[in-house]
């Protein structure tokens, strides 16, 4: 039988009854065209790539799913509130060798959870990550001792843990665990949202009081003031930034009795952006992001003194080289003809010139210097309204001084940075927004502390 010709955009059918016509589709800002099947083209709000498959869930793909842009709240997030986080999912890992297995897989030290300690807050859980073999982030997670009894009934409580991950990547993480489990003696399963939910609670006034030393034992005060009744809950002071508040786990039908106003996940998301805290696969790119560029070192997510774990070599080498040139930072968007913002502030009523907002900017869009071609200054990760997160070159976009590089390219505050997408090759008809990066106070102090002891390059 004569073979069908293979030409760009057409695949031969595998059977007479199954003919799939493939079309070339280029994403905005992408150099290469991708090929997707016609059924996927008809699906709404889908991000296409050359690895796309006809599937009903993004959990089956290793790439990050396209986020659904939230509706911007009519007011900034409350200074005190709590919200359920449906974007997070929990995995139960329990068995005699559960702690040993996790110790070889994550960037933090399981001894912090399994060793008896007077540090009650440390024993409640920690922030950490799973890396691939070359040291890139696969999953950013929290790990907690299972104090809710969600593991097997016949197992010892000391060997049961809960792993909180991005809901869109939960299926991929389950496969990752299965791949490395081999004959290790533990069981794991993905929990339904009805079994256990993740909440976030915060109180800026309580944080300010504890920081200023006006309260006794400030960390405990924040917990007890916000959540007096902790029965049947797992409560962790979120270590990623001082103002993030509390992570609270409870059974799905049990709303925590927080001494604050009910809020929503959008408010929590905006608070994260203002603090420069990335979360999930849409902001920490799987197989691409380095843990130090995602600030996991400054957010308590890496123990540089623990033994071997998957991806340790590159992480340790990056740490001891002393220079991380790019970091995830909060950014403010503004119009091409508008004055640069002076402060990092979410303004729901302020729309950048041209009616554009962060939700309309393609993810991973390159940030360039205004009126100048050449090296990219970073990339845009995600956002809402006039704020978002960007992976920014510190030396170009901020006044942070990196060791050994201050004289090479000093920061110029008069320089502005631009993102543009769409239009033709000459930029005609392109949509444009300017972007300014800010370094939160907590991150600036961490970087300064790190630079003091960093080797000079």
Stretch among 298-302, 384-388, 411-415 having the lowest mean pLDDT: 411-415
pLDDT at res. 137: 97
For tokens 């070159």, what's the residue? 393
* Residue of 415 and 65 predicted with greater confidence: 415
- Given a cut of 60, is residue 149 above it in pLDDT? yes
Residues 6 or more apart whose Cβ sits within 8 Å of residue 87: 166, 167, 168, 265, 280
pLDDT tens digit sequence for 167-209: 999 999 999 999 999 999 999 999 999 999 999 999 988 787 7
The topology under which CATH files domain 77-318 is Gyrase A; domain 2 (3.30.1360)
- Whether residue 256 contacts residue 262, with contact meaning beta carbons closer than 8 Å, is answered with no
Q: Please state the domain extents for the chain.
A: 1-54, 77-318, 322-452
Separation of alpha carbons 454 and 24, rounded Å: 48
* Per-residue pLDDT band at 2 (split at 50, 70, 90): very low
Q: Nearest to residue 263, comparing CAs of 86, 75, 85, 81?
A: 81
Are β-strands 80-84 and 261-262 bridged in parallel, bridged antiparallel, or unpaired? parallel
Please state, in angstroms and as integers, the Cα–Cα distance from residue 383 to each residue in 5, 273, 291, 352, 405, following that order: 45, 8, 20, 13, 30
Reported residue count of the chain is 457
Separation of alpha carbons 184 and 95, rounded Å: 9
pTM for the full predicted model:
0.80
- Given a cut of 80, is residue 219 above it in pLDDT? no
pLDDT tens digit sequence for 432-447: 999 999 999 999 988 8
pLDDT tens digit sequence for 294-317: 999 999 999 999 989 999 999 998
Mean pLDDT across the chain: 79
- Whether residue 168 contacts residue 85, with contact meaning beta carbons closer than 8 Å, is answered with no
Q: Nearest to residue 143, comparing CAs of 163, 129, 123?
A: 163
pLDDT tens digit sequence for 3-59: 444 444 433 333 333 333 333 333 344 334 333 444 443 443 433 333 333 333 444
Q: How many CA atoms lie within 13 A of 279 on its CB side?
A: 26
- Residue 135 main-chain phi, psi, to 5 deg: 90, 10
pLDDT at res. 161: 95
- Given a cut of 70, is residue 419 above it in pLDDT? yes
pLDDT at res. 349: 67
How large a percentage of the chain has pLDDT more than 70?
Answer: 73
* Residue of 92 and 51 predicted with greater confidence: 92
pLDDT at res. 3: 47
């Amino acid at each position: 039988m004569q073979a069908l010709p293979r030409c760009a955009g057409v695949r031969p059918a595998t059977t007479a009854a199954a003919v799939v016509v493939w079309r070339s589709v280029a994403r905005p800002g992408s150099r290469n065209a991708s090929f997707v099947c016609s059924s996927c083209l008809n699906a709404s709000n889908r991000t296409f790539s050359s690895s796309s498959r006809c599937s009903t869930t993004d959990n089956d793909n290793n790439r990050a799913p396209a986020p659904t842009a939230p509706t911007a709240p009519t007011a900034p997030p409350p200074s005190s509130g709590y919200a359920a986080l449906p974007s997070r999912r929990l995995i139960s890992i329990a068995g005699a060798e559960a702690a040993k297995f996790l110790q070889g897989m994550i960037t933090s030290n399981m001894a912090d959870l399994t060793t008896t300690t007077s540090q009650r807050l440390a024993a409640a859980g920690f922030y950490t990550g799973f890396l691939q073999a070359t040291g890139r982030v696969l999953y950013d997670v929290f790990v907690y001792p299972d104090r809710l009894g969600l593991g097997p009934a016949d197992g010892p409580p000391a060997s049961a843990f809960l792993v909180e991950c991005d809901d869109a990547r939960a299926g991929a993480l389950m496969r990752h665990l299965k791949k490395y489990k081999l004959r290790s003696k533990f069981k794991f399963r993905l929990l339904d949202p009805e079994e256990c939910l993740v909440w976030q609670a915060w109180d800026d006034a309580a944080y300010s009081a504890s920081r200023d030393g006006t309260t006794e034992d400030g960390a405990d005060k924040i917990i007890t003031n916000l959540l007096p009744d902790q029965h049947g809950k797992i409560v962790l002071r979120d270590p990623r930034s001082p103002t993030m508040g509390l992570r609270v786990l409870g059974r799905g039908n049990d709303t925590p009795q927080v001494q604050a106003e009910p809020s929503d996940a959008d408010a929590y998301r905006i608070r994260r952006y203002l603090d420069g805290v990335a979360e999930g696969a849409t902001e920490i790119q799987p197989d691409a992001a380095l843990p130090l560029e995602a600030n996991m070192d400054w957010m308590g997510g890496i123990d540089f003194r623990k033994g071997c774990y998957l991806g340790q070599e590159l992480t340790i080498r990056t740490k001891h080289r002393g220079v991380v040139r790019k970091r995830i930072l909060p950014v403010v968007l503004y119009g091409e003809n508008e004055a640069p913002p002076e402060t990092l502030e979410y303004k729901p009523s302020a729309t950048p010139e041209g009616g554009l907002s962060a939700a309309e900017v393609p993810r991973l869009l390159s940030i360039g210097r205004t009126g100048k071609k050449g090296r990219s200054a970073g990339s845009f990760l995600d956002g809402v309204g006039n704020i978002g997160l960007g992976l920014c070159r510190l030396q170009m976009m901020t006044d942070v001084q990196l060791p050994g590089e201050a004289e090479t390219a000093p920061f110029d505050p008069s320089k502005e940075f631009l993102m543009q997408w769409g239009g033709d090759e000459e930029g005609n008809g392109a949509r444009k927004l300017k972007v300014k990066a800010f370094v939160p106070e907590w991150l600036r102090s961490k970087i300064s502390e790190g630079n003091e002891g960093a080797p000079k390059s």
